[in-house]
Structure 1
Amino acid sequence: MSYDYAPPPRFEDHPSPEKPTGRHPVNIGHLVMGLAFIAFVVVWALIVSDTVTIDSLEDLRWLLPMPWIVGGSVGLLVAMLRRQ
């Protein structure tokens, strides 16, 4: 009777591969939506703190598109810079 059998190696016995370090590429969609969310919070804070006086809903016509304009502008800028 021979006892030369070795069990198969376990996952825990293998050394872990080196993890790459450094920066990862920017996800433009996440960046744009995060900036739009922050800009909406700023718009809300301006309205609640009475920094911007709103007499009617028509006064919001210039203020509510601002988060989308800011987020889209930054997204376009990052997309252009990424190509270079």
Structure 2
Amino acid sequence: MSNETYEPYEPYEPYETEPAPADRPSGLHPVNIGHLVMGVAFAVMLTGWALLEGGLIEPEDLRWMMPVPWLAAGAAGLAALLLRRTD
């Protein structure tokens, strides 16, 4: 057995006590445009499938519905590219 002395435990303070500096990042993270484009395309395809299964659109309407996911995904990717922050 040793006779070591231990420092008392100091509780952890989870919150900052001083204000954050002005050059600190705002918390926004960069958007992966490829993931955004494919996610939008998938979401619009899923919506089209749900509309077809729900009977709100007929199979004949698929002719004009097929390019909609790709147009929406392209528009989302272009918007993300144009609105991207460059610091």
TM over 0.5: yes
Residue of structure 2 in register with 1:27 after alignment? 32
Higher helix share: 1
AA paired with 1:44?
W
CA offset digits 1:2-39 (Å, max 9, x no partner):
xxxxxxxxxxxxxxxxxx88221001110010010000
Gaps of 5+ in 1: 1-19
AA paired with 1:26?
V
Q: How many residues are paired up?
A: 62
Distance in 1 separating the partners of 2:28 and 2:66: 34
Residue of structure 1 in register with 2:83 after alignment? 81
Gaps of 5+ in 2: 1-24
Question: Structure 1-normalised TM-score?
Answer: 0.65
Q: Alpha-carbon deviation of 1:83?
A: 5.9
Percentage of matched positions with identical amino acids: 50
